[in-house]
Amino acid sequence: GAGVSQTPSNKVTEKGKYVELRCDPISGHTALYWYRQSLGQGPEFLIYFQGTGAADDSGLPNDRFFAVRPEGSVSTLKIQRTERGDSAVYLCASSRGLAENTGELFFGEGSRLTVL
């Protein structure tokens, strides 16, 4: 489809395990964002890429969280040694290139992570 695609839609894991969440942005969108949304809360900014580089990773909660976007398209959010507090919906969004970017975000349906 033409929208932002996130996989898996649901992930259940055990405390201490490693997880990867994938985001495939809209074709041609150079900006890509990761947010985390806990129940009853607004999306919490994690990291944003402009092309291949992380332009702002100030929202990553600690060094267990890492994200890459090696070819400037698909991005992977990686969480090491998962904790129960990491349980949330992880949202990916993309937007147009910097010259045209007025900030409008196009969101995927999210990946729901449950850490047991």
Partner 1 sequence: AQKVTQAQTEISVVEKEDVTLDCVYETRDTTYYLFWYKQPPSGELVFLIRRNSFDEQNEISGRYSWNFQKSTSSFNFTITASQVVDSAVYFCALSGFNTGGFKTIFGAGTRLFVKA
Q: Which residues bind partner 1 (CB under 8 A)?
A: 31, 33, 35, 41-45, 48, 50, 55-56, 89, 91, 93, 95, 98, 101-110
| Nearest distance from C-beta of residue 18 to partner 1, angstroms | 25
| Nearest distance from C-beta of residue 40 to partner 1, angstroms | 8
* Closer residue to partner 1 (CB): 19 or 108: 108
Task: Report strand pairing: 65-68 vs 10-13.
Answer: unpaired
Contacts of 104 (CB under 8 A, 6+ apart): 95, 96
Token pair, residue 38, equals 């806990």
* Closer residue to partner 1 (CB): 82 or 111: 111
* Closer residue to partner 1 (CB): 25 or 108: 108
